[in-house]
A = this chain, B = another copy of it.
Amino acid sequence: MNTQGPTRIQKKNRAVILEAALDVFSTHGFRGSTVDQIAKEAGLSKPNLLYYFPSKEAIHASLLEQMLDTWLDPLREMDPEGDPLEEVLAYVARKLEISRTYPRESRLFANEILQGAPRIGEVLSTDLKALVDEKIDLLTRWMKAGHIAQVHPYHLIFSIWSLTQHYADFDVQVRAVMGDQDPFQSAPEFIETLYRRLLTPT
């Protein structure tokens, strides 16, 4: 009888599989990826991989779930008690940093949304919407109090998402255009300037 948690081997192999799957799914999308590909990347045989996860779907679901938390965290941290402008700027900086550190997660997410969010559409219109609405409220209060400039708060948030994730999702294009310059060296300053000028009250 197994009364203990997962074996050392189970722990290691599940991690190895998720790591490999993230690589594969994030660059080929769900349907574009094959179990064989993931198994090879993980250094396992296909049946062995399917001994640790019941199906391709299950691996993908596990990755998405894990990723959604990482994705939402920076927004959650925006503090109603802090200095408004600095809070927004800090949020933007965190988001950009995450794009740099976890580009594969960003692309996994982008792939899912692009295809109509078949697997996380529900979460978007419940959990995500709830969190965003809460922060929209906060931003609106800040604007009404004159702490930051009045702009459409939804679009403010969308703009932050799109600007920061662009560097992960469209990495190939960014690098093709910029040549050998590192986009992440100059991006933080540009984006901070942008939001400072947009949000500093007149």
Q: A residues touching B (Cβ–Cβ < 8 Å)? A: 27-32, 107, 110-111, 113-117, 121, 124-125, 128-129, 132, 149, 151-152, 154-159, 161-163, 165-167, 169-170, 172-174, 176-179, 181, 183, 186-187, 189-191, 193-194, 197-198
Q: Is A158 a contact partner of B166 (Cβ separation < 8 A)?
A: yes
Q: Is B155 a contact partner of A190 (Cβ separation < 8 A)?
A: yes
Bound together, the chains give a CA A188 to CA B110 distance in angstroms of 23
Q: Which of A28, A107, A170, A177 has the most CB of B within 10 A?
A: A177
Given A29-B29, A166-B162, A176:B115 Cβ within 8 A: no
Bound together, the chains give a CA A163 to CA B191 distance in angstroms of 12
Q: Is A114 a contact partner of B115 (Cβ separation < 8 A)?
A: no
Starting from the known contacts A124-B177, A128-B177, A161-B166, 10 additional A-B residue pairs (CB-CB under 8 Å) come to A29-B32, A29-B114, A113-B170, A124-B176, A125-B176, A152-B186, A154-B183, A155-B187, A155-B190, A198-B198
Bound together, the chains give a CA A176 to CA B157 distance in angstroms of 14
Cβ contacts A to B, 30 pairs, < 8 Å: A27-B114, A28-B115, A29-B29, A29-B111, A29-B114, A32-B115, A110-B169, A111-B114, A117-B172, A117-B173, A117-B176, A121-B172, A121-B176, A124-B172, A124-B173, A124-B176, A132-B177, A151-B190, A154-B178, A154-B183, A155-B190, A158-B174, A158-B177, A159-B194, A161-B170, A162-B163, A162-B165, A194-B194, A197-B197, A197-B198
Q: Is A169 a contact partner of B114 (Cβ separation < 8 A)?
A: yes
A116 CB contacts on chain B under 8 angstroms: 27, 172
For the complex of A and B, 3 pairs with smallest distance between CB atoms? A162-B166, A31-B32, A155-B190
A173 CB contacts on chain B under 8 angstroms: 113, 117, 124, 128
